[in-house]
Amino acid sequence: MTDGARSATGRGSAPREVATHCPYCALQCGMTLREEAGRVTVLPRQFPTNRGGLCQKGWTAAELLDHPERLTTPLLRDPGTGELRPASWEAALDRIVTGIRAVQRGHGPDAVAVFGGGGLTNEKAYALGKFARVALRTRHIDYNGRFCMSSAAAAGLRAFGVDRGLPFPLADLGRADTLLLVGANPAETMPPLVRWLTEQRERGGRLIVVDPRVTATARLADLHLQPLPGTDLAVANALLHIALTEGWVDRAYVDTRTTGFPAVRRSVAGWWPARAEALSGVPVADLEATARALGTAERAVILTARGAEQHAKGVDTVTGFVNLALALGLPGRPGSGYGCLTGQGNGQGGREHGQKADQLPGYRRIDDPAAREHVAGVWGVPAGELPGPGVPAYRLLDSLGTPAGPKALLVFGSNPVVSAPRAARVERRLRDLDLLVVADFLLSETAALADVVLPTAQWAEEDGTMTNLEGRVLRRRALREPPPGVRTDLAVLADLAARLATPGEDGGGGGAGAASGAAARFPTDPRTVFAELRRASAGGPADYAGVSWERIDAADGVWWPCPDEDGPDTPRLFADRFATPDGRARFHPVEHRPAAEEVCPEYPLYFTTGRVLAQYQSGTQTRRVAALRRAAPSAFVELHPDLADRLGVTDGEPVRVVSRRGELRAPARLSPGIRPDTVFAPFHWGGAGRANSVTNDAVDPVSGMPEFKICAVRVERVEP
């Protein structure tokens, strides 16, 4: 029996149960897995964030454990036929190591790159970063969280000195008198969170939603602002302008807890409400009502999510709302503050422990000499041998197979062929590689292009930790062992590291005893990896030194920073000081600017993307779950009926959405809830319905976040 699994009868025989968390989004709902007669079912579990609730994705998560499409043997591309064929682990690992050595011999260590994922456990994210820097000695590692959280992370860092999605417990949402959700649709992306919104409103609170579409969340709101895509920053600046004019700014808070306000006051002086209305389409009366609801509330929370963040000005847009929150004196007060709703399951922890191109474990900067010394000491290598910073995800993907870019790529827990912007171009880059390796448990669109596919364990088959959207570290507990032929990601990394350290026929790698040394450096037991992660993170901004698995088990998780096993953790940040050198939060003036691509006569409509309730991310998993496939079987294009009329399109008819980069084809879905100048498509599908064939690869200059949420398109009826 695996760590944590117990007999449901208490007599050491089946059925077995284990208390764990959902494999999907950052809410990380608590659930119980039960195995009886070989069948695994999901049961509700009381946990402080989801309080027994699960969405359809969570209820059906166990279906993939024994799915007929589950990969249980490595696959190697046959050079003769070009097809993927079953192979032994020995042959697959040999092929990878030979390929890595050939590429690095010809082009240097940076010619091999690693691409990780925001769904990997903390242990795996940590081991992957270490593997890239120590075993491969490459600077090129980044991950798909760059497409998710990076703009809010960068804005939080520059304002507060630390990036934790919610710097307060989720329960604070229920206490807020006013809650402003900007570009967030939790009613579809994380439905159990809606209980907190319901509680907030039942207590008499006001919910205000900013979104270009009438989403399921917008329908719950007391007030819905429906701006033109790409104009949220103008809305934020206008709200602060009104708060200043009306005298709602908390002068004492601004004077004692912040710096830089005069420059922001000057920068928003020109954002009178009528100007913001002309730009965004949000009526002045709604802007004033929103500012009043925030400015006069005793407790108010402002939350952003991908709708505000996935723009080439995403960092500045989030900063605009952070400025507003700081001016109103919200951060650090119970029931108040600014936060970001993280998306991926371990979007928070996954960005703290070394998968990001510029970071080492504990949220340390890789260009900080003291950080390098500390982490190199834990890893047992000279600090001078650690590579420097790499490049953000899209730049990395766009450079693959080019003369100056990496020639080999190892992908863990990600499907960029569907999830990257301008995806057809990314697909071409992947095809240009000398070696593409994908570790996954299903044949994703990216795995289908690989030279080597490695079958890896699923969430119910391995232990580990995840860090939810509150910065609360949780235990993922295994119910059963992986099926025969399947290995964990940690075992794969250890195997590869050992082989890379063994001298090859060409003399590459190794040295006496290097293989056993490498194996010791890459333990396969997640508890051992976590113990090392704790040491590596000690003293860093995301300090896990005091977080033990036992402590997590004894409570409902542990909030970082937690530097001391006998000391407190930190459910609420910023009560007394911010994580900046002087302890004060920093205002930054930010100006609205147009999207990287605005509409024009040839491409007269805005295109925006998002999620639907029954699918998750690139859909590799959820598209294979029968109930979810029935609920959301395929891609669609949402159009306003007036626009459909103009185009001569009826509901269900196939349409083409065409941008300068490519097109998607899917049936039209008519909805009066979308602006007539905007079309929407979910991004969960590949093939002809791939939304990211159309999206723009312009990125935010600070965070590297691509502009998924706005580009210019035309829509055409597809003639039968």
Considering only the stretches 22-30, 215-223, 478-486, 694-702, report the one whose residues sit in contact with ligand SF4 under the rule CB under 6 A: 22-30
Closest to ligand SF4 by CB, 22 or 501: 22
Of these, 16, 20, 24, 586, which contacts ligand SF4 (CB under 6 A)? 24
Could you count the other beta carbons within 10 Å of the beta carbon of residue 707?
A: 22
Considering only the stretches 17-25, 198-206, 409-417, 701-709, report the one whose residues sit in contact with ligand SF4 under the rule CB under 6 A: 17-25
CB of 711 to ligand SF4, least distance (A): 28
CA distance 169 to 471: 9
Considering only the stretches 92-100, 185-193, 510-518, 695-703, report the one whose residues sit in contact with ligand SF4 under the rule CB under 6 A: 185-193
Closest to ligand SF4 by CB, 55 or 111: 55
- Taking CB atoms within 8 Å and a gap of at least 24, the contacts of 644-653 are 644/668, 644/670, 647/715, 647/716, 647/717, 648/717, 649/715, 649/717, 653/717, 653/718
Of these, 18, 19, 22, 437, which contacts ligand SF4 (CB under 6 A)? 22
Cα-Cα end-to-end distance for the chain: 57
CA distance 190 to 25: 7
CA distance 114 to 434: 14
Considering only the stretches 160-168, 188-196, 647-655, 670-678, report the one whose residues sit in contact with ligand SF4 under the rule CB under 6 A: 188-196
Closest to ligand SF4 by CB, 30 or 354: 30
Nearest to 657 by CA among 686, 673, 678: 678
CB of 580 to ligand SF4, least distance (A): 32
CB of 63 to ligand SF4, least distance (A): 14
CA distance 221 to 318: 21
CA distance 641 to 645: 6
Closest to ligand SF4 by CB, 413 or 455: 413
Closest to ligand SF4 by CB, 346 or 609: 346
Peptide bond into 561 cis (omega under 30): yes
CB of 189 to ligand SF4, least distance (A): 7
Residue 190 engages ligand SF4 in binding (rule: CB under 6 A): yes
- Identify the bridge partners of residue 714 per DSSP, sorted by sequence position: 658
CB of 123 to ligand SF4, least distance (A): 19
CA distance 215 to 199: 20
Considering only the stretches 19-27, 116-124, 307-315, 355-363, report the one whose residues sit in contact with ligand SF4 under the rule CB under 6 A: 19-27
CB of 620 to ligand SF4, least distance (A): 14
Strands 359-360 and 364-365: antiparallel
Residue 544 engages ligand SF4 in binding (rule: CB under 6 A): no
Closest to ligand SF4 by CB, 47 or 587: 47
Closest to ligand SF4 by CB, 24 or 338: 24
Handedness of CA 204, 237, 708, 636 (dihedral sign): positive
- The residue behind tokens 């601004």 is 254
Closest to ligand SF4 by CB, 55 or 710: 55
> What six digits make up the tokens of 684?
């969960």
- Identify the bridge partners of residue 225 per DSSP, sorted by sequence position: 210
- The residue behind tokens 């991950």 is 143
> To 5 degrees, how large is the angle CA 65–CA 68–CA 70?
55
Considering only the stretches 23-31, 68-76, 541-549, 685-693, report the one whose residues sit in contact with ligand SF4 under the rule CB under 6 A: 23-31
Phi and psi at residue 7, to the nearest 5°: -70, 130
Of these, 5, 18, 27, 573, which contacts ligand SF4 (CB under 6 A)? 27
CB of 691 to ligand SF4, least distance (A): 20
Phi and psi at residue 609, to the nearest 5°: -125, 165
Binding to ligand SF4 by CB under 6 A, coded x per residue (else -) over 282-321, reads ----------------------------------------
261 and 244 Cβ atoms separated by less than 8 Å: no
CB of 61 to ligand SF4, least distance (A): 7
Phi and psi at residue 538, to the nearest 5°: -55, 125
Residue 492 engages ligand SF4 in binding (rule: CB under 6 A): no
Residue 239 engages ligand SF4 in binding (rule: CB under 6 A): no
Closest to ligand SF4 by CB, 166 or 585: 166
Residue 327 engages ligand SF4 in binding (rule: CB under 6 A): no
Closest to ligand SF4 by CB, 29 or 715: 29
With a CB cutoff of 8 Å and minimum separation 6, the contacts of 513 are none
> How many residues are present in the chain?
720
Distances (CA, A) of 417 to 52, 400, 428, 687: 35, 13, 9, 10
Residue 331 engages ligand SF4 in binding (rule: CB under 6 A): no
Nearest to 456 by CA among 120, 81, 90: 120
Distances (CA, A) of 129 to 370, 425, 542, 682: 18, 26, 16, 31
Residue 620 engages ligand SF4 in binding (rule: CB under 6 A): no
CB of 551 to ligand SF4, least distance (A): 22
Which run of H or E residues covers position 180? strand 178-182
Nearest to 179 by CA among 191, 159, 193: 193
Closest to ligand SF4 by CB, 348 or 678: 348
Nearest to 395 by CA among 381, 384, 406: 406
Q: Which of residues 51-80 bind ligand SF4 (CB under 6 A)?
A: 54-55, 57-58
CB of 42 to ligand SF4, least distance (A): 9
Closest to ligand SF4 by CB, 138 or 621: 621
Residues binding ligand SF4: number (CB under 6 A) = 14
Of these, 5, 18, 19, 25, which contacts ligand SF4 (CB under 6 A)? 25
CA distance 473 to 557: 5
What share of residues in the chain are helix, strand, coil (percent, to 5)?
A: 35, 20, 45
Considering only the stretches 8-16, 49-57, 174-182, 214-222, report the one whose residues sit in contact with ligand SF4 under the rule CB under 6 A: 49-57
Residue 184 engages ligand SF4 in binding (rule: CB under 6 A): no
Which run of H or E residues covers position 410? strand 408-412
- Identify the bridge partners of residue 338 per DSSP, sorted by sequence position: 302
CB of 616 to ligand SF4, least distance (A): 6
Of these, 20, 28, 415, 692, which contacts ligand SF4 (CB under 6 A)? 28
Could you count the other beta carbons within 10 Å of the beta carbon of residue 380?
A: 10
CB of 53 to ligand SF4, least distance (A): 7
Nearest to 318 by CA among 537, 16, 718, 588: 588
Residue 241 engages ligand SF4 in binding (rule: CB under 6 A): no
Residue 29 engages ligand SF4 in binding (rule: CB under 6 A): yes
Report the residue number whose CB is nearest to ligand SF4.
58
Of these, 74, 117, 167, 192, which contacts ligand SF4 (CB under 6 A)? 192
Per CB under 6 A, residues contacting ligand SF4 are 22, 24-25, 27-29, 50, 54-55, 57-58, 190-192
